[in-house]
Amino acid sequence: MKKIDHKIFIRMLKEKGITQKAFANYSKIPYDTVTGWKKRGSVPLYAMVIARDMAYRLELNENAQKELQRKYKRQNNKIKGLNKKEQKLIESAFWGTNYTAAEIIKKAQNKDEEIIKQIKNLPINLQEKIATIQVNPNV
Of the candidates 40, 58, 75, which is a domain's last residue? Answer: 75
pLDDT digits (tens, 9 = 90+) for 1-17: 678 899 999 999 999 99
Q: What is the mean pLDDT of the chain?
A: 86
Q: DSSP 3-state assignment of 3?
A: strand
139 within domain boundaries: no
Supply the range of the domain harboring residue 98. 84-132
- Cα–Cα dist 100/26, whole Å: 37
Task: Quote the number of domains for the chain.
Answer: 2
Tally: H helices and E strands in the chain: 8, 2
pLDDT single digits (tens) 29-78: 999 999 999 999 999 999 999 999 999 999 999 888 888 877 776 666 67
| Phi and psi, residue 3, nearest 5° | -130, 155
Q: What share of the chain is helix, strand, coil (3-state, %, to 5)?
A: 70, 5, 25
